[in-house]
Amino acid sequence: MVTLPPHSHRAVAESFGIDPARYDRTRAAYPEALLDRLPGHEFLDVGCGTGIVARQLLARGHVVLGVEPDARMAEFATGTGVDVEVGTFKEWEPAGRTFDAVVSGTAWHWIDPVAGARKAARVLRSGGVLAPFGHVYELPEAAAAALATAFRRLAPDSPIVPRTSMLDAYQGLYVRAADGIREAGGFGEPEIWRHDWERTYTRAELLDLIPTSGGLTMLPPSDVDAVLAVVGAEIGDEVTLRYATWGLTATRR
């Protein structure tokens, strides 16, 4: 069986806007150590979602333009003070604008890695940086197994299948992105990196986060509730999750 790359599954990619407020309050901000890697002052945030990355960059005094295909997510981001243009990165027209860095927070895997890199090269100034990055967290083993079992039962045809271990597996998304950059040309050698950290959630906070995961965003509410009931039976009042933030940087020649 051939497994299609994530960017082929547009229905999943554009399903996160079902509840922008939940997405924004539950998805973690990005570590300051990551933001310290990003050079320049003017940023293009591809797949900006509700504006989590953009607001962090704005708080540092940078200029940020977001591009977001989901009008619901874009409207939410605009309401928080982010300048957003609605459309896919493929179709978005830069109109002669250029940037010091193109960033993408937990969204670059929804973009064709070669076409995306070529488009980024068009809008980056010489010496600018393409820097996609993204979070992945790991549930406790019993909860992860329960989630995977429930998901397979309720959505057997879904292209997204939760795994019991994700921290290392997520690296593959950035290996694919790096290969796309090399094929596109116009960049120096991509540098893949990983930042490990932890976050503690209450039971209610974790059960609020889980439905924002790809695949679950496409299930009817009754099925999501069924998944949460199964997972909730495996967690206590407080849970500390291990996170890995994977990313890469590549400099425009």
For the cut 60, the answer to whether the pLDDT of residue 102 exceeds it is yes
Examine the pLDDT at 4 and tell me if it is beyond 70: no
DSSP string, 71-102: HHHHHHHHHTT-EEEES-TTT---TT--EEEE
d(CA 161, CA 75): 29
Determine, yes or no, domain membership for 75: yes
Region 87-100 average pLDDT: 97
User: Burial of 164 by CB count in 10 Å (0-12 exposed, 13-18 middle, 19+ buried)?
Assistant: middle
pLDDT of residue 141 exceeding 50, the answer is yes
Q: Report the predicted TM-score, pTM, of the whole model to 2 decimal places.
A: 0.89
Is 210 within a domain?
no
pLDDT given for residue 26 in this prediction:
96
pLDDT at 6 over 80: no
Counted domains in the chain: 1
Specify the range with the lowest mean pLDDT, choosing from 14-23, 30-39, 192-201, 233-242.
14-23
8 pLDDT more than 50: no
Contact call for residues 129 and 38 (beta carbons, < 8 A): yes
The answer to whether residue 103 is domain-embedded is yes
- In the chain, where do the E strands start and end? 42-46, 63-68, 83-86, 99-105, 124-138, 191-202, 238-251
187 falls within a domain: yes
Is residue 91, in this structure, part of any structural domain at all?
A: yes
Residue 157 lies in a domain: no
* Interatomic CA distance for residues 196 and 175, integer angstroms: 18
Token code pair at residue 204: 């209610």
Tell whether the torsion through CA atoms of 48, 49, 54 and 56 is positive or negative.
negative
Whether 95 maps to a domain, the answer reads yes
Burial 177-214 (b: 16+ CB within 10 A, else e): bbebbeebeebeebeeeebeeeeebeeeebbebbbbeb
Predicted pLDDT at 9: 46
- Would you say residue 214 lies in a domain? no
What pLDDT score was predicted for residue 213?
84
CATH of residue 189's domain is 3.40.50.150
Domain enclosing residue 43, as ranges:
6-139+163-198+242-251
Question: What pLDDT does residue 217 have?
Answer: 80
